[in-house]
Amino acid sequence: MSISKERKAYLKKLRREYFIVSAFRLLIIIIFIAGWELLTRLGVINTFTFSSPSRILVTIINLINQKNLFSHIYVTMFETVISFSLATIIGLVVATFLWSNSIISKVVDPYLTILNSLPKVALGPLIIIWVGASTNSIIFMSLLISTFITIINIYNGFISTDKSYITLLKSFGASKWQIFRKVIFPSNYTTMISALKVNISMNLIGVIMGELLVSKKGLGYLIMYGSQVFNIDLVIAGVFILGVISYLMYWIVNKLEVKVLKNK
């Protein structure tokens, strides 16, 4: 199938824009790392309190050589994926239920806001007592942080769907389930993907907070151990690895968004 000149020009523009954005993203990281390293070499930045890229690299290599790094990454990734999956499923199910019952949604709405605003860190000791000092408490902490915001985001997307489509289906005698399946759910693909993007960071934060409290494995434990022994290189190395993991998870969800919107 032949492509028109206008279409080719449009695709070329998109590729050029993607290249420019990617180049600038990479350039910002390079400038930041190079500037950080240069300032530490010149003595402007104290490496004891701020470390340096070269020292962080050496720390990561040492962790790999000691066969410690990947086991910690695996523990954190496992806990994050489990909590991310549970929060997404719970959020979608509860948001669907609230959309289907307006009376219950009006009753529950303020409580969702209150529960979402609670300081989850302060509940840490209680969570340990309720669930136990184990992986379960870490996943529970992560769920507390991410589930309520997921419910709120998806539910708000559902109730913000264009009412004209709903009215049209109702005029044809469509049931509530048919309206949800044909209009509400398909119209909120973007909203749900956005909720997943928020979920990534929220779940990762929750897992790290849980690991800081109870874990003997994971990147949160590495960061806590590094701070206890004043090893800033280890602390910042752990934070750097968390940033890489967060970006990779975001990239996966972003690719999912492109695929979903392409097939929409």
Would you say the C-alpha torsion 167, 168, 172, 174 has a positive or negative sign? negative
Dihedral pair phi/psi, residue 79, rounded to 5°: -65, -40
User: What pLDDT sits at residue 2?
Assistant: 60
CA 195/CA 152 separation, integer angstroms: 9
CB 255 within 8 A of CB 196: no
Distance CA 125, CA 137 (A): 10
Tokens of 158: 């559902």
Measure Cα distances from 203 to 80, 82, 94, 146, 148 in Å. 6, 9, 18, 6, 12
Q: CA angle, 246 as apex, 243 and 247 as ends, to 5°?
A: 85
Nearby residues of 161 by Cβ (< 8 Å), 6 or more positions away: 183, 184, 187, 188
Q: What is the mean pLDDT of each run of 10 residues along the chain (264 residues)?
A: 69 83 91 94 88 92 89 92 92 92 89 84 81 85 90 91 83 85 87 86 88 86 89 92 88 80 66
